[in-house]
Amino acid sequence: MTVVPTVALTGVTKRFRGTAALDDVHLTLGPGITGLLGPNGAGKTTLLRITATVLTPGAGEVVLFGTRPAGPEQLAAVRRRLGYLPQEMGHPRGFTGFGFVDYMAVLKEWTDRAARHAEVRRVLELVDLDGVAARRVSALSGGQRRRLGLAQALLGDPDLLLLDEPTTGVDPGQRVTLRQVLSRAGERSTVLLSTHQTEDVAALCDRVVVLDGGRVRFDGAVADLVATAAGRVWLADAPDPAARASWRTGTGRHRVVGQAAPAGAEPAEPTLEDAYLLLLGERARTTGVAA
């Protein structure tokens, strides 16, 4: 039996004023959590928008759940099965947290009031916001608003969950809560998670896609990307200006990521961040990865 992938992007290209935000991207996604890494301007948000059907590609084909969402009916059918958290998620004025998610639930065709309210309560509890649901959105912290955005994306347990930097502004304790929510979602749904947080990808994802300049630079298992840094990370007593990156750690020793071992250095266990730095080189350093 042929398994239909949730997402199949073929040769997807998108240009803005002549500059390619995405350039001939091929990507197939099925159930599980895929991390999307890349420097600012790499095309991550454009890729998520196109997959979420809110942006049309300039060229190439987008197939979701085996359907090309061309007409209004196919588009609505696809959108019934997806949850989307945009990078910038504002909230209409005057809503409480519950009221905002309720508003989004109406847009997601939850017309029965009792069932809708039960679903709103469920997703607010999932992201640990049930205690502040009666507060105005304007009175919530940045991290709470981000979790509110995630709550609306989780409405109806979507088969495809597209999240653009869901952990931005979220404190470490809440980040663990969100990881639990996302890992449960990834057991049955397809989750594409765009982030600058390599540790979120390492903790949650079984697969990672690295975008740079609109092109896919790496697509594979997280362990495989980490393995590319094996033998290229050391702990040394002094910084190494010739290395791709080196910094003083909390122990007083210097972590060195590069091609050649500095004198007297000892090998260190590579992380996903090390592998990312080595893959993207200067671009990763200048645009930055939040550690």
Partner 1 sequence: MSTSTGGWHADEDLLSRYVRGDAGPVAAASLEQHLLRCASCRDRIAAHVPVPLLDAAWERVRDEAVAGRPRRLERLLVRLGVPAPDALLVATAPSLRTSWLVGLVVTLVFVGLGAAYGGDRGLTFFLLVAPLVPVAGVAFAYGPDADPSHEAALATPYPATRLLLLRTAAVLAASLPPVLLAALLVPALSWTAVAWLLPALSLTAALLAASTWVRPTVTAAALGAGWTAAVTSASRAADPTAVLAPALLVAYAVLGCLALLVLALRSRSLTTLGSPS
Rule CB under 8 A: say whether 27 interacts with partner 1: no
Q: Which of 1, 2, 3, 88 binds partner 1 (CB under 8 A)?
A: 88
Rule CB under 8 A: say whether 84 interacts with partner 1: yes
Residue 236: strand pairing partners:
254
- 181/229 Cα distance (integer angstroms): 30
As given in the structure block, the two tokens for residue 20 are 């390619």
Q: Which of 82, 181, 236, 243 binds partner 1 (CB under 8 A)?
A: 82
Instruction: Quote the distance between the C-alpha of residue 155 and its chain's center.
Output: 18
Rule CB under 8 A: say whether 32 interacts with partner 1: no
Rule CB under 8 A: say whether 285 interacts with partner 1: no
Rule CB under 8 A: say whether 179 interacts with partner 1: no
- Beta-strand relationship, 82-85 and 160-164: parallel
Neighbour count for residue 101 (Cβ, 10 Å): 28
Sequence-ordered list of residues with C-beta below 8 angstroms from that of 173, at least 6 positions apart, any chain: none
Nearest CB to partner 1, comparing residues 28 and 56: 56
Rule CB under 8 A: say whether 111 interacts with partner 1: yes
Span of 88-96, 207-215, 254-262, 272-280 interacting with partner 1 by CB under 8 A: 88-96
Neighbour count for residue 136 (Cβ, 10 Å): 15
Shortest CA distance to 52 belongs to which of 25, 79, 71, 87?
79
Rule CB under 8 A: say whether 104 interacts with partner 1: yes
Give residues 38-77 in contact with partner 1 (rule: CB under 8 A). 46, 49, 52-56, 72, 75-77
Rule CB under 8 A: say whether 106 interacts with partner 1: yes
Phi, psi of 94 (to 5 degrees): 90, -10
Q: Is 107 helix (H, G, I), strand (E, B) or coil?
A: helix
Rule CB under 8 A: say whether 107 interacts with partner 1: yes
- 142/174 Cα distance (integer angstroms): 12
Rg (CA), the chain: 21
Lay out the site mask for partner 1 across 146-175 (x = CB under 8 A, - = otherwise).
Answer: ---x--xx----------------------
Residue ranges in contact with partner 1 by CB under 8 A = 16, 21, 46, 49, 52-56, 72, 75-77, 79-80, 82, 84-86, 88-100, 102-104, 106-109, 111, 113-114, 117-118, 120-121, 133-134, 136, 149, 152-153
